[in-house]
Amino acid sequence: MAVISKKELTNATMAMLALLFFAANSVLCRIALAETDIDPASFTSIRLVSGAMVLFFLAGIDCWRTGEVDDGCKLTHRPLEHWLAAAMLFLYAATFSFAYLYLDTGVGALVLFAFVQLTMFAYSHYKEGGASGLEYIGALTAICGLGYLVSPGLHAPDMWGAFLMAIAGVAWGAYSVLGKEIKQPQLKANCINFRLSLFFVVPFFLLNIPMNALSADGIWLAIASGAIASAVGYAIWYWVVKQFKATQAGVMQLTVPLIAAYAGFLFLDEALTMRMVIAATVILLGIAVTFFAKERKQPAATQR
């Protein structure tokens, strides 16, 4: 009988916490757009600004705790990677918000994280020597579940919304793999990335002023999404992706749509269709196969 080490338990706990925050982002965005008067551009802008402020505060506390003299958010190391990460963060947040004008909570999250997986799988093949045969089978099984979800039919999701969410997934996947490349503490790296994303947010918000619509409830939901689910969640995730292969991290995120779908059912009365249930089952099977492949590889590596 395998014994779970303290490190493995910590990794699993932090990963689950990050995934819960990711699901909360979908739920908060969908509630804001469906039940308040806030528009997607305003939601995105408030989300990123509030996230940047919280991360700046947390990074300052961390610097005070460790005795560092800078503000924890100073751009001093590999600026190109940070600018790329900031651009991907903004692209993800913007397309994510607009996609949720057309998609239910669980469907949107399922499309998002399936494309996250594809992006991280491509990175793994290029940078980490590829994956094993079983890992490929697991990932392809999960992708088949996505294909069934978006195939034409009575309960197929809106294709424009699915397209926007696919872009968001690629952008988030790129943001995740850039987190593996930036050799800085995850809190400081996220602080810098969120701060730089504001250079994209300001013109985006100003160009949208003629269509801006705000409400108190919508603003508070955007702040919760940015300050808690995004700022804290992304800081945790940047730590998590360093503990797993990109393939594993990408497939692991496919549990988020199941959490989001259930939350949408509870808080928004969204239907759990048979199409969604079948697609989710196939995706979970793919995740199980991928993790089984990882467990088989580890003993083999130990023997060598």
Q: What is the pLDDT of residue 169?
A: 93
Better pLDDT: 223 or 109: 223
CA distance 170 to 146: 15
3-state secondary structure of 72: coil
Report residue 304's pLDDT band, with 50, 70 and 90 as the boundaries. Answer: very low
| Residue corresponding to tokens 């699915």 | 162
As a whole number of angstroms, the distance between CA 280 and CA 298 comes to 27
Over the chain, what is the mean pLDDT?
A: 81
The answer to whether residues 263 and 105 touch, using CB atoms and an 8 Å cutoff, is: yes
The rounded distance, in Å, linking the Cα atoms of 162 and 41 is 18
As given in the structure block, the two tokens for residue 195 are: 């701060």
Interval 25-48: pLDDT, tens: 999 999 999 999 999 999 999 999
pLDDT tens digits, 58-99: 888 877 776 665 555 666 566 788 899 999 999 999 999 999
